Amino acid sequence: MPRTVDHRLHAHRRDAILDAAADLVATQGYADMSVQDVITRVGISKGAFYHYFGSKPALLEGLVERIAAELAGLCREIVDDPTLPAGEKLRRCFLTMTRRKARMRPLLMEMLSVWYSDSNAVVRQKLCATSSGQLVPLMARVIHEGVDERVFSVSDPLTTAGIVWGLAQNLRESLGRLLLDQSIGDPLPAMRTRIAAYTEAIERVLAMESGTLRLIDDAVVAGWVDSSLGRSR
């Protein structure tokens, strides 16, 4: 007789492992965290750990997947709100995601250099595709509503959503690499310039009124820079 799987228990234990890993990465760094550290923190056997995650890199992948799912959930709540106009939904989605990431700054700063290493290129591409699969359909809904409201002017909302999300992904990677570039004394001016350029590009893709979209709060950008400079001193 096949064994019955308790999916709620499975999800709870997996989350417990990810919670422990997130705390350890934020406090001691991904490079210094070992699988044994996670096992000890959760209080499980090595076999139980490898039942959920096949390796330390798989644990990193799990953390990124969970963050992406959380961000998609936050955006879905905004998109489903019938009281908000499309332009406001788009603005809130971008700002909500960047503000939520800012609250996870210690964890994400420690993950940043590992995430953009050449060894993680395949995983990075895979997870970017996963997040696109979650967020592009939501963005397409917003764009379709914006076309109906005559605040956007596009012929194909779904394809346009993919373009907009691709620009947002490129901006995120560009900002991350600026934070990691130790040859730049203060990356804040360059980051502001990139954000302004990508914001303008997205407004043009959607044929929005110029200056109506905000992708990220300046205070959030400054906070990331402060964290980066603090780590490099």
Distance between CA atoms of 195 and 220, rounded to whole angstroms?
Answer: 12
- The label of the residue with tokens 């890199």 reads 57
The tens digit of pLDDT for each residue in 174-217 reads: 999 999 887 888 999 999 999 999 999 999 999 999 999 999 99
Task: Specify the pLDDT at position 233.
Answer: 42
* Torsion sign over Cα 70, 127, 197, 146: negative
The pTM score is 0.86
Angle at 200 between CA 199 and CA 206, to 5 degrees: 90
Output DSSP code: residue 2: P
Q: Work out the number of other CB atoms within 10 angstroms of the CB of residue 33.
A: 22
3-state secondary structure (DSSP) of residue 114: helix
Question: Rounded to 10 degrees, what is the CA torsion of 131, 137, 142, 143?
Answer: 110
Domain extents in the chain: 1-54, 55-232
Taking 50 as the pLDDT cut, the residues of the chain under it are: 1, 232-233
| CATH architecture group of domain 1-54 | Orthogonal Bundle (1.10)
Assign a CATH topology to domain 55-232. Tetracycline Repressor; domain 2 (1.10.357)
Task: Specify the pLDDT at position 146.
Answer: 97
104: nearest Cα among 73, 64, 158, 149: 64
